[in-house]
Amino acid sequence: MNDPSFREKVYAIVAQIPRGRVMTYGDIAALAGQAHAARIVGGIAHFGPTDLPWQRVVNRFGDMASGYYGGKIGQQRDLENEGVPIENFRIVDFKERRWLPNDL
Residue 77: inside a domain, yes or no?
A: yes
**25-51 mean pLDDT:** 95
Is 102 part of a structural domain of the chain?
Answer: no
Give the model confidence (pLDDT) of 82-99 as tens digits.
Answer: 999 999 999 999 999 999
104 in a structural domain:
no
- CA dist 69 and 34 (Å) reads 25
Asked, for residue 103, whether it belongs to a domain, the answer is no
Q: How far apart are CA 90 and CA 52, in angstroms?
A: 21
Q: What is the pTM of this model?
A: 0.92
Let me know if residue 31 belongs to a domain.
yes
CATH code, 68: 1.10.10.10
Task: Report if residue 39 sits inside a domain.
Answer: yes
Q: Show the domain range for 51.
A: 4-94
Residue 100 inside a domain? The answer is no
Query: Amino acid letter at 19?
Result: R
Q: How confident is the model at residue 103 (pLDDT cuts 50, 70, 90)?
A: low
pLDDT in tens, 47-83: 999 999 999 999 999 999 988 989 999 999 999 999 9
